Amino acid sequence: MTGWLAIAGLGPGDAALVTPEVSAALAEATDVLGYARYVARVPSREGLALHPSENRMELQRAEEALRLAAAGRRVVIVSSGDPGVFAMAAAVFEALEGAPELQNIPIRVLPGVTAMLAAAARAGAPLGHDFCAINLSDNLKPWPLIEKRLRLAAEADFAIAMYNPRSASRPEGFARVLDILKQAGCGHRLIIFAHAVTTPNERIEMVSLDEARPNMADMATLVILGNSATRRVGRWVYAPRRAS
Ligand code: SAH
């Protein structure tokens, strides 16, 4: 039996946003690996082994997935949203770099709807002009680099999508993020807090940055700071397509 590995995105939460391609891979799989909360979203069935693991076990999980595929299993490693956005795809390729003997395994990366796009759709079109995405976790990069990127993104007038805004281990970090963006002159800009988008707990808040409070974000929140021209129309927020 020829094994393979699919690195799949489950989307932001709603089963309707799991792509048919991902559903087909899951239907053929013998093994599913991932962070326990994401594996819990995969319906169990006979012949399917579920391998939930803890957060921050990315490299070990990737190595295990490669080993299983090399042994002939049909393996899906799941992420929320898109697997290439602050998720498992990069971890798998990192593991592959360290294991040349596994580089012939058939690997596919199956895209998913990333949280940023689901959040933007709820708000209107805040990413309708140029934007960037920044992971606010300092787990894998130094905090000064996050601050530098925030300052330069603000200066370049990008809309900024922010992943991983808060965690128990660094509760003050997001307050600092809001301060940096205010100091960069963004206080008047609109900011969107999209919590648990497309799940039953969804909550969307839109305020100006000056009105934003750190506790408006938790780890299930995707934050989008608009650019300087982003504005409201009725209950919607959008970034005009033209810039001068
Ligand atoms: N690969 C994922 C991102 C993983 S990082 C993706 O493409 O979406 C985890 C962060 O994603 C969370 O801290 C949060 O900022 C964001 N996120 C994931 N799902 C979300 C959802 N349903 N609603 C809002 N934010 C979400």
The per-residue pLDDT for range 65-90, each reduced to its tens digit, is: 999 999 999 999 999 999 999 999 99
Ligand 1 pocket, residue 80 CB under 6 Å: yes
Distance of alpha carbon 242 from alpha carbon 229, whole angstroms: 9
Q: Contact, 5 vs 49, CB < 8 A?
A: no
Q: Contact, 69 vs 33, CB < 8 A?
A: no
Query: Distances in Å between the alpha carbon of 26 and those of 50, 108, 211?
Result: 11, 13, 44
Q: Which of 54-63, 75-84, 110-119, 124-133 has the lowest mean pLDDT?
A: 54-63
Q: Contact, 177 vs 193, CB < 8 A?
A: no
**Buried (b) or exposed (e) across 187-224, using 16+ Cβ within 10 A?**
eebbbbbbbbbbeeebebbbeebeebebebbeebbbbb
User: Between β-strands 231-233 and 236-238, what pairing exists: parallel, antiparallel or unpaired?
Assistant: antiparallel
Q: Is a pLDDT exceeding 70 seen at residue 47? A: yes
Q: What is the pLDDT of residue 167?
A: 77
Residue of 141, 164, 193 best suited for mutating to test ligand 1, as the one with most atoms within 8 Å of CB? 164
Tell me the pLDDT band of 27, cut-offs 50, 70 and 90: very high
Ligand 1 pocket, residue 117 CB under 6 Å: no
Helix (H, G, I), strand (E, B) or coil at 92: helix
